[in-house]
Amino acid sequence: MKTIQHFLLFWLLGLPGFVQAAALQLQTGGGAIPVSGYLQRLDDPHAVLSAQQALQAEGWQALPSSLSAGYTSGYVWLRLEVRPTDAGEQRWMLRLSNALLDDVRLYQRGADGAWQERRSGENLARERWPIDYRSAVFPLRLQGQQNEVVLLRLQTKNALSVSLDFMEATEFGQAGRREYIAYGLYFGIYLMLFGFHVIFWRMTQAPESGWYLAYVGCCVWIEGLTIGLPQQLLGIPVQLSDPLLGVAMALSLPIGTVFACRQLALAQVYNRLANGLVALSWLLGGLAAIAVLLGFFRQAVPVVLSVSLASIPLMVTVATWLLWRGHRPARFYLLAFGVFYAGVLVAFLRNFGVVPANLWTDHAVALGTLLHMGAMSLRIISHYNRLKRDKHLAQAQNTALIQQQNAHLESQVALRTFELNQELLRREQLEQELRATLRREQQVREEQSDFVAMVSHEFRTPLAIIATSAQQLGRKLDAPAEKNLRRCQNIRDAAARLLALVDDYLTHDRMAEPQPISRFAACDLAALLNGLRADFPAERILFDQRLSAETYWCDVGLLHVAVRNLLANADRYAPQGVPVRLVVREEGGVILISVSHPGALIAEDERGRFFHKYYRGRHAQSTTGAGLGLYMVRRIAQLHGGDATLTSFGGGEVICFRLSLRLAACGYDSSCTLPVQATLERRG
């Protein structure tokens, strides 16, 4: 672990390796002289070494910077060799930055060569310290231009991280006064801000303000105890200062978690996560506080610091994620808490021995907390100004509302009159709509009557043929076979015509629905089309198929009706003795079915109306029909994802009707041919 810490120190500091000078040169008039780079360290876990034994012991390690040993229960020796540059006896002050060291002992050789011990640290009463200062300070008498070895033995239950510097005795007094003035200003700012927030909390009674006061109070109290000012000014003994510090650090974990979650508005987006973090922090903080009060400071505080250190990247990650998702409170949270978290992170890393102890790391929390409080104060002031603006805006809105109410009262009569006029207009419009509805209903009834009459007429002719032929057969059973066969053929033709009419009208009823119900199944398309030739005279239909697959997914019944109507239409108007061509092919995933035959030129004004419902062209006036065939052809094509078009118009070219269908190919299934076979058997 120590090797890893040293490696991290070298990497952070950019040092090429251990650098140890022969002696630290103490030159007067230069202010504070840091000892970084001149220290050596020796671990004495059980404090069994005397000064002489420690000096002669093996295992001394050069420190590239200040001492950062983390939380350790053992004793650490520091060796330092100094040399004043000026001649004569000089007085210097050796100052240690860490005010929470429990046992600090300095060893210096006397005139007789024996080691002289001087003590400081929190285990010693303040009045017995060599110098009345917030941290341990030792006065030294050094002979000029002579090397002298100084030994220090340190032990504490807190983090053993400390930096050392030398100052002249006169300079130390002046630096102390400047330091106390700076601390006075520092904590004066805190006191002013704290008082301001107390007043603000009393005015608003906002829960966030109360949590903020508790949060800042813990931070300031921890910072004050850490730098040793309350212990020095109030004479607080270590038996009281350590529990106060430990409990404050333990409670700062749940208080900080609650305040951070409220500022981030985490419960609005992740309520369970917020409640879980708060509950866990209260549990750990409460247990740690109890452990500190029971005397387990050394065991509890590192746990609290580790959990706090782990919570920082967690909260920053959550805030960054929420910021990416557009959560507005996350933006201020990262701004205000980021600088504070940075200072806390540096202090934790210093306490655990990862980064060196120096001026910046020793005061990282203080700087981060001050900037954090400044940001929070600006936010509170901004919030207050926004509330003030909202108040003025509300007053202006109330004034405008009163004016609007007055204007509203003045316009009530006019509004009522206008509403009455509008009601009269609405009733007139309703009357017109009712009349239009009655006209549409009458039109529908007329269409239904026409349709029933047309159906009756269309059905009467084949039924009359069937009845007449049957009567003739019944009366003249002994007639020649040729006449009986002709009469049977008439019956079959009339029955076929009647079945075709039934198919057309049933299909029409089915296609008249807003969303026709399809009965798609796998079908041998080529067999279906080829089977339709049986309904027409031999050699009348020429069939040409160029399909890439055998079976396709389609509505067999509807497709049978559509193609049969096209073939029947072509057979009716094509010249006798001229074949009708039925061609099916596949292009770009679309099935194209074309029915063509020679014929007279179709007038231009009729070309776009063939697929209209009940429309019959000029050439069809002398034949029977309802004008539904081509209409149903297009509807069936649309149901199959395609369309029906008239591609050529006769005269010098053929008349060609084309179906374009989007049919999915599928594996061959013999069952798909059953509808076709059943139709053929029924017609046969």
DSSP letter string over 101-123?
-SEEEEEEE-TTS-EEEEEESTT
Structure confidence at residue 676 as a pLDDT band (50, 70, 90)? very low
Structure confidence at residue 117 as a pLDDT band (50, 70, 90)? very high
Query: Quick one: 339 and 234 in the same domain?
Result: yes
Range with the poorest average pLDDT among 258-267, 513-522, 639-648: 513-522
Of the chain, the percentage scoring pLDDT greater than 70 comes to 74
Of the chain, the percentage scoring pLDDT greater than 90 comes to 12
Mean pLDDT of 642-649: 82
Select from 634, 636, 665, 656 the least CA-distant residue to 547: 665
Query: Quick one: 121 and 261 in the same domain?
Result: no
- Residue-wise pLDDT for 140-180, tens only, equals 988 888 899 999 999 998 888 888 989 888 888 888 888 78
Range with the poorest average pLDDT among 42-56, 205-219, 494-508: 494-508
pLDDT at 18: 37
- Residue-wise pLDDT for 28-51, tens only, equals 877 888 888 899 999 999 889 999
Q: Provide the CATH number for the domain around residue 645.
A: 3.30.565.10
C-alpha span between 475 and 468 (Å, rounded): 11
C-alpha span between 350 and 160 (Å, rounded): 9
pLDDT at 282: 93
C-alpha span between 396 and 409 (Å, rounded): 20
462 in any annotated domain: no
Query: Quick one: 273 and 369 in the same domain?
Result: yes
Where does a domain end: 379, 409, 444?
379
CA distances from 99 to 220, 225, 226 (A): 16, 8, 7
**Mean model confidence pLDDT for the chain:** 78
Query: Quick one: 219 and 362 in the same domain?
Result: yes
Mean pLDDT of 52-78: 88
91 in any annotated domain: yes
Widest CA span in the chain: 164
End-to-end CA distance of the chain: 99
Sheet with 541-546, side-by-side order of all strands: 541-546, 580-587, 590-597, 655-661, 643-649
646 in any annotated domain: yes
C-alpha span between 469 and 490 (Å, rounded): 7
403 in any annotated domain: no
Structural domain tally of the chain? Answer: 3
pLDDT at 354: 64
CA distances from 45 to 42, 249, 659 (A): 10, 27, 98
Contact 648, 596 (CB under 8 A): yes
Query: Quick one: 265 and 117 in the same domain?
Result: no
Contact 22, 50 (CB under 8 A): no
22 in any annotated domain: yes
234 in any annotated domain: yes
- Residue-wise pLDDT for 561-611, tens only, equals 888 888 888 888 788 888 888 888 888 888 888 888 888 887 777 776 667
Structure confidence at residue 219 as a pLDDT band (50, 70, 90)? confident
Structure confidence at residue 624 as a pLDDT band (50, 70, 90)? low
pLDDT at 13: 36
Contact 668, 524 (CB under 8 A): yes
pLDDT at 681: 37
pLDDT at 523: 84
Residue range of the domain that includes 621: 518-683
Residues 6+ apart with CB under 8 A from 4: none
Query: Quick one: 563 and 629 in the same domain?
Result: yes
Where does a domain end: 358, 379, 400?
379
- Residue-wise pLDDT for 341-400, tens only, equals 777 777 666 655 566 656 666 666 667 666 766 676 666 667 667 767 887 888 888 888
Query: Quick one: 352 and 271 in the same domain?
Result: yes
Query: Quick one: 23 and 133 in the same domain?
Result: yes
Q: Is 93 helix (H, G, I), strand (E, B) or coil?
A: strand
CA distances from 235 to 133, 179, 232, 271, 684 (A): 11, 19, 5, 46, 121
Structure confidence at residue 632 as a pLDDT band (50, 70, 90)? confident
Query: Quick one: 211 and 359 in the same domain?
Result: yes
The 10 Å CB-count burial string (b at 16+, else e) for 15-29 is eeeeeeeeebebeee
Which is more confident, 343 or 138? 138
C-alpha span between 497 and 493 (Å, rounded): 6
* Residue 528 confidence (pLDDT) above 70: yes
pLDDT at 197: 67
654 in any annotated domain: yes
pLDDT at 21: 45
Other Cβ atoms within 10 Å of 577 Cβ, number: 7
Contact 151, 107 (CB under 8 A): yes
C-alpha span between 170 and 93 (Å, rounded): 9
Range with the poorest average pLDDT among 100-114, 443-457, 635-649: 443-457
Q: Is 645 helix (H, G, I), strand (E, B) or coil?
A: strand
- Residue-wise pLDDT for 67-87, tens only, equals 888 788 889 999 999 988 888
Query: Quick one: 158 and 219 in the same domain?
Result: no
18 in any annotated domain: yes
Q: Provide the CATH number for the domain around residue 127.
A: 2.60.40.2380
Query: Quick one: 140 and 213 in the same domain?
Result: no
Q: Is 552 helix (H, G, I), strand (E, B) or coil?
A: strand
C-alpha span between 86 and 334 (Å, rounded): 53
Mean pLDDT of 214-233: 82
C-alpha span between 433 and 162 (Å, rounded): 94
Which is more confident, 470 or 433? 433
Residue with tokens 């594996």: 667
Structure confidence at residue 670 as a pLDDT band (50, 70, 90)? very low
Residue with tokens 């002398």: 622
Mean pLDDT of 127-134: 90
C-alpha span between 437 and 433 (Å, rounded): 6
C-alpha span between 106 and 318 (Å, rounded): 48
Where does a domain end: 176, 191, 223?
176
DSSP letter string over 324-347?
HTT-THHHHHHHHHHHHHHHHHHH
* Residue 616 confidence (pLDDT) above 80: no
Helix or strand (DSSP H, E) at 75 = strand 75-84
Sheet with 664-666, side-by-side order of all strands: 520-524, 551-555, 664-666
Query: Quick one: 118 and 245 in the same domain?
Result: no
